[in-house]
Every structure is written in C-alpha cells, then in structure tokens.
Structure 1
Amino acid sequence: MMMFVAALQIQDLEDEDSQWGGSSKGRSYTARNREIMDQRLKTLYFTDPCKYEPNIFRRRYRMQPWVFDRIMSDVANYDPYFVQRRDATGRVGLSNEQKLTCAMRQLTYVVTADFFDDYIDIAKSTAIEILEHFTIAIWNVYHEHYLRRPTPADLRRLLDKAVERGFPGMIGSLDCSLNDINVLGQSPLFNDVSCSETPHVSYEVQNRHYGQCYYLVDGIYPKWAGFVQAIKNPRTLQTKHFTRMQEAYRKDVERAFGIFQARWAIIRGPARGWSTENLQFIMMTCIILHNMIVEDEHDEDACS
C-alpha cells in the first residue's frame, strides 16, 4: 500500500513538472554547429571582401546590402530577440545575419522551414519563430512610413504619368482579380471614392472642366464618378481606341502584382498553417519591404 501511494506521489510530481516545460520523453537532442554555419554565411555575403558580389546579394536577398544592414539594425533596436546573446552554458546564440537570412529566404523562396536545418543549422520550430518575430518587427518599425497615403509630390508624379498616357486626372487602376469587391468594400479606398474624398485636381477633356481624380476599372465595379470603365461593345474608332488604351493601362496593376509575387514567393502558394494574424503580418511585411526596395532603387536612378 505504501509503495502504491509513493508511486502516485511520483506521478503527481512528474505531472506538475510537465506543466513548466522541460525535456519530454521521446525527444532527442540534435547538436548544431551554428557558429561554423554563421562564419560560413558571413564569408559568403557579409565580410569585406566576401565571396559574392553585391549583384548576387541583390538577387538572393531581393535588396542591396545597405538596405539589409539598415533593416538588421532597426529590427534589433526594436526587438531584443534579434540581439545576439549567450545561452546558459555561455555559448553564443544565432547571429542577426543568420536570423534575418532565415526570415528573408522564407519570404523570397518557396522553401519549407526544414530547409534551414541543412542550410544554416536552424531547426524548423526556430525558423518559424524567427519569421514571426521578423514580420511583427517590420510592421511596427516601418508601417507608418511605407504604408502611408501618397504625399502631394507622390500624387503629382502619378498625375504626370497619367497625362503622358492620355488619362489626365487618373491616379490608379483596379482589377477585379486582384481587388475583390468584398475586400474593396472594407478598404479606405472604397470609403474615399464613395464619399467623393479622392484628391482634387484640375484638368479639361474636350473643353469640359473636371476637378476630381478617378481610377480605371473594369465592368464589375459600380458606375461611380470616381471609376472610369471601358466602353462595352465599342463601335466607333474613337471608342475602340479609348477602350484599348484603358484596358492596356489597367494591365499595369496586373504586371505590378506579378513583379510583387515574383519577388516574394511566399505569397504565391497556399498558407502553411500560420494564424490569420501571422498571415497578415507576412503580407504587410512583403509590401513594406517591396516599397523600401523601390524607394532605394528609385533614389539610385535619380542619382545616376
């Protein structure tokens, strides 16, 4: 009887310990050479000189080295998770270069989290954790700047481009395959158009004055003043020309989204089990990083 009671007490203690984590039966320890893999990674991309030239870095990381360095510094200042530390045994943890490389490769390539076990000795669970921390950090650090509304200078540039293409007052185009009506109904863009709060401009078409911007859309969108649709079944040369040019300009948004998907392969395929919140952070991170790259390369073009 006493042995039976003692056995129950031991079982209770084991159950209590299991609530606080610790080792689990059946789990094995995998030795990882993260220091060696870190040195190898830095030799390839981050030392001076390194094995690969900046153009190779740009292709594989989707951005120039200086943009990557800026992001690495900013996310480390925001989230201590990205500050390299030592564990309880005094061993150095993963470096920032390893963590950000892990996050960026998940965003840019169609690879599973298991891939990083072979590539830079990062376990699957750690790779997923890194991506979660990275996307949250990118959102909190950059969203106010890179997801802001267009400035007057941005708007002027858009209007000038539209005039060159024969559409004065046009500030964008929408496509139903990429902008579902139900999604658009919840967006600030929809509110702006329905409330006639689009930016005010001044232009003339056939001696008639107009003072409101508009978007080019296809026939599925409502017939509002802020939406200009192609002419259904055009008959005259003028209406045929207008419809052809309108449809050609609308193709720009499809091409832009095609470039976006090519750069960030993670958004091309099905979701891999993350929560809805994590999926939102992933998409917003891709958009923010895309805007950062466009801004950097636009500045380069302006200086050249």
Structure 2
Amino acid sequence: MPRKRSRARRQLDESSSDDDDLLIFSAAQIVSNFSNAKRRPGGSVPSHRVIYRDREGGHDRMFQDYLADNPTYGPDIFRRRYMMSRELFLRIMNAVEAHDDYFVQKRNAANVLGLSCFQKVTVAMRMLTYGVPADATDEYVRIGESTALESLRRFVAAVVDIFEDEYLRYPNEKDTACLLAMGERKGFPGMLGCIDCMHWAWKNCPYDKQGQYKGHVDKPTIILEAVALDDLWIWHAFFGMPGSHNDINVLHRSPLFANLAEGTAPQVNYTVNGHDYTMGYYLADGIYPSWATLVKSITLPMENKRQYFAKAQEAARKAVERAFGVLQSRFTIVRGPARIWDIETLALIMKACIIMHNMIIEDEGHVDPDERFDNGGENVEPEHGQTTRTLQEFIDAHKRIRDPETHVQLKEDLIEHLWNHHPDLYSF
C-alpha cells in the first residue's frame, strides 16, 4: 500500500508540472500574438484585419497643421475648414473634454496611447461641416469608422449638454427688448422674429418608419421649425416631427408659445396706428393660420398700401430663410441626406449644429454677449409675486394667441404704419 500511494503522488506531481508548462506556454503565446498584432492579420473579431494607424503620429501631424504656435495652415484656412475660429474651436474642445471622460486621451492595457481629444473632435467636426461618411476621415485623422461614429454621437451630446442653456434658450427681457428694436428698424413694431420650417432628408430611415416620415416629397424627411431675425441668430428650434406634417401641424405641437400661454414670457407692449397690443408676433408665410401672434403677407394685393406691405413683409421674412441657408452652408450634414439610423442622434446633431451656429455668430461680433447673457438661463423667470395660472387662465391665453380678429386688426394697423412712417424703407 505505501508503494502504491507513492506512485500515485508521483503521477500527480508530473501531471501538475505538465499543466504549469502548458499554462506558461499559452501565456507566452498570447503575449507574442499581441506584440505582433501590427504585422499579422486578425483581431478580436474573426476575419477582421487589424490596422496599425499610427495614432500618435497622426495627432502630431494634425497638431502641427492647425494648433502649433507656427501652424502649417493659418487662421484663415482653419476658419474655412472648421467653419469657426481657432479660439472658438479650442473653447468647445476643452469644454467637451472636461464634460465627457470619453474625450480624455488614455493608455490601453499595453500602455499604448489612444486617440487624442483633438482627433475625436476633429472627426466629428469634419462629418458635421463636410457631411462626409464616417470612414472618409481615416486617412488623415487616423480613426476607425466605428470610433468616428461614436465620437460624433458623444460630441453632439456634449455640446447640447454644455451650451444649450446659453445658446438655445427662450429670450429674456433684455433679449426681447433687442428683438423688438430690430423689428422696429424693419418697420414692424412688436415683431419678435420670422418663423418657418425646413425639411431634412433622412436617407437611412428604417423601413417600418418610412411611411410616417414621407410628406409632400417621395422620400423620408424630418422637419425643423425655427425663428430667426436679421442677425441670423436662431432663437427657437423645434426638431423631430415626421415629414408627413406641414408647418401648421408642427406649429400646433411646437412649444413656441408655451411661455406666453403660461404667463412666463417677458411683457411686450407696443402701439401701432393708435391701437395698443400686449403680445409680440412673428412674420410667417401664407400657410400659417391667422393667429394674433402671426402676421402673414397678402395674396394678390390690389391697393398700393397693400402691395407695399406685402413686399415689405416678404422681404423681412427672408431672414429665417437666410438663417437656414447659412446653417446648411456651415454644417453640410444638415443639407445632405442624413445617414444616421436613429432619430435621437439626428435630433442631437441638428440641435448641436444650431448651437454652434449661434456661437459662431457671437464669436464673429454680430451679437454682443454682454447684452444677451446678462442673466442667462434656459427659461425666463416670471415676474415677482406672479403665481401659476389656473386652467381657465391658461385656456383664455390660448384663445388670445389664436384670436383671428386681432390678427386682422394688427395687419391693417401695420399696413397703415408702414405706409405712413416707413414709405422709403423698402425700395423695389
């Protein structure tokens, strides 16, 4: 018996030794395969070839091209390729990096540096400004397709989270005073802006949603409702309604007049042709309803006064069309067909483009930040001591907003006001 136990122990020791040798060999083989990954095809996904992109070298070249003290491409070329000044770009990039840890450059398990924040933000900006596919930036930025798409999603979400409350918010009292002054200079006292809708084609709309998003054109589209004035600042943006809707349907679902109905909007008081008004209005085209807060043109005007008003209204209303054109020229992604599959990401892309559009306007000196952002915030605070409106007060406010008689009276007063006080403001 003792001899048998000794033989059993000896066999167990030999088996353990073989297992240890096998474990050591396997670990060495794994390390060898990892170190030779740059020279051998194959990766974590079967049949996928691992590409050595030289990310550090790509970052160094990009930094020398645009961000060095003596860059290869100066400020003018930077402005043309990034659609904004280098100072504004750095402000956005630093804010995004501080907001989302995804953009912080890290080392992987092999102690190799990953992509820099500059590379991830640049690939997002190239896709937004040029409208190129995700894999079209790999040759210069040195970033894969899936990482480029992830960087785009994270970037637009960070921009919205950081800057929405400042650059896409309801006007406060100072903002409203500036808007009223701009409207007065155009010959329209009480005007707060111009409203219109824009359709964005959705190329990769899922098949089960295509019927919902097809409207007057035979392809899926998504609608953006916006309000702008001559400085091209977009004060209101409501995006995401299916393309089967028109401007009227979108307006009924839009939060444009929510603050006015709730009693939290700044007070607007003005006099036109001897009549007093307490609600501002927006210039709109003929499809919009005859509300007290909307002023439309005149179809087939017969008298000189009405002809002059129609031309003046149509000329002033072009401000929102110009804002759409500038937005699409700066961010080509919203001009061409959208390739993203989900509506949530498209909404973030549109909102981020509008926010950066407003930031560019401020950076280029068209808007004085000291005048606009005195008490910045997402919502306008109600007057001191004002309580929440009751249901009946809320219903009465909606009725006043939709009052057709006030709409007709306001239009007649504006016709007389333009003819008597601004006869030479518009020359046609």
What TM-score do the two structures reach when normalised by structure 1? 0.86
- Alignment-derived partner of residue 243 in structure 1: 310
Q: Which amino acid aligns with 1:69?
A: L
Q: Compared with structure 1, are the counterparts of its residues 80 and 286 closer, same or farther at alpha carbon in structure 2 (3 Å cutoff)?
A: same
Residue 185 of structure 2 is aligned to residue 118 of structure 1 = no
Residue 195 of structure 1 and its aligned partner are, at CA, apart by 7.1
Residue 235 of structure 2 is aligned to residue 214 of structure 1 = no
Q: What SS class does the counterpart of residue 200 from structure 1 fall into?
A: coil
Mapped contact 1:176–1:220 kept (Cα < 8 A): no
Q: Report the structure number with the largest CA radius of gyration.
A: 2
Deviates more, 1:155-164 or 1:40-49: 155-164
Residue 112 of structure 2 is aligned to residue 45 of structure 1 = no
- Alignment-derived partner of residue 171 in structure 1: 192
- Alignment-derived partner of residue 363 in structure 2: 296
Mapped contact 1:176–1:218 kept (Cα < 8 A): no
How many angstroms apart in 1 are the aligned matches of 2:156 and 2:196?
27
- Alignment-derived partner of residue 181 in structure 1: 248
Of 339, 342, 352, 1:275 maps to: 342
Deviations 1:93-126 (A, max 9, x none): 1111111111101100021111122122111111
Q: Compared with structure 1, are the counterparts of its residues 199 and 222 closer, same or farther at alpha carbon in structure 2 (3 Å cutoff)?
A: farther
Q: What SS class does the counterpart of residue 188 from structure 1 fall into?
A: coil
Residue 158 of structure 1 and its aligned partner are, at CA, apart by 1.2
Structure 2 residue ranges without an equivalent (≥5):
1-42, 199-223, 226-246, 371-428
Q: Compared with structure 1, are the counterparts of its residues 192 and 230 closer, same or farther at alpha carbon in structure 2 (3 Å cutoff)?
A: farther
Residue 202 of structure 1 and its aligned partner are, at CA, apart by 2.6
Of 84, 96, 114, 1:75 maps to: 96
Residue 287 of structure 1 and its aligned partner are, at CA, apart by 1.0
Q: Percent identity?
A: 47
Mapped contact 1:213–1:226 kept (Cα < 8 A): yes
Residue 301 of structure 1 and its aligned partner are, at CA, apart by 7.8
Residue 290 of structure 1 and its aligned partner are, at CA, apart by 1.1
How many angstroms apart in 1 are the aligned matches of 2:262 and 2:284?
18
Residue 156 of structure 1 and its aligned partner are, at CA, apart by 1.4
- Alignment-derived partner of residue 202 in structure 1: 269
What TM-score do the two structures reach when normalised by structure 2? 0.62
Show the 5 A alignment for 1:141-180. Answer: 141-175=162-196, 179=225, 180=247
Structure 1 residue ranges without an equivalent (≥5):
1-21
- Alignment-derived partner of residue 97 in structure 1: 118
Q: What SS class does the counterpart of residue 222 from structure 1 fall into?
A: coil
Number of aligned residue pairs: give it.
282
- Alignment-derived partner of residue 23 in structure 1: 44
Residue 53 of structure 1 and its aligned partner are, at CA, apart by 1.5
Residue 245 of structure 1 and its aligned partner are, at CA, apart by 0.2
Q: Compared with structure 1, are the counterparts of its residues 301 and 199 closer, same or farther at alpha carbon in structure 2 (3 Å cutoff)?
A: closer
Q: Compared with structure 1, are the counterparts of its residues 95 and 114 closer, same or farther at alpha carbon in structure 2 (3 Å cutoff)?
A: same
- Alignment-derived partner of residue 7 in structure 2: none
- Alignment-derived partner of residue 333 in structure 2: 266
How many angstroms apart in 1 are the aligned matches of 2:260 and 2:269?
17
Q: Which amino acid aligns with 2:280?
A: C
Mapped contact 1:45–1:51 kept (Cα < 8 A): yes
Residue 195 of structure 2 is aligned to residue 128 of structure 1 = no
Mapped contact 2:192–2:282 kept (Cα < 8 A): yes
How many angstroms apart in 2 are the aligned matches of 1:222 and 1:192?
19
Mapped contact 2:156–2:352 kept (Cα < 8 A): yes
- Alignment-derived partner of residue 15 in structure 1: none
How many angstroms apart in 1 are the aligned matches of 2:267 and 2:324?
27
Deviates more, 1:108-117 or 1:185-194: 185-194
Of 103, 106, 109, 2:127 maps to: 106
Deviations 1:145-190 (A, max 9, x none): 1111112222111111111111000011123556422222222114
Of 49, 54, 57, 2:78 maps to: 57
- Alignment-derived partner of residue 233 in structure 1: 300
Q: Bigger relative contact order, structure 1 or 2, given CA contacts below 8 A and separation 6+?
A: 2
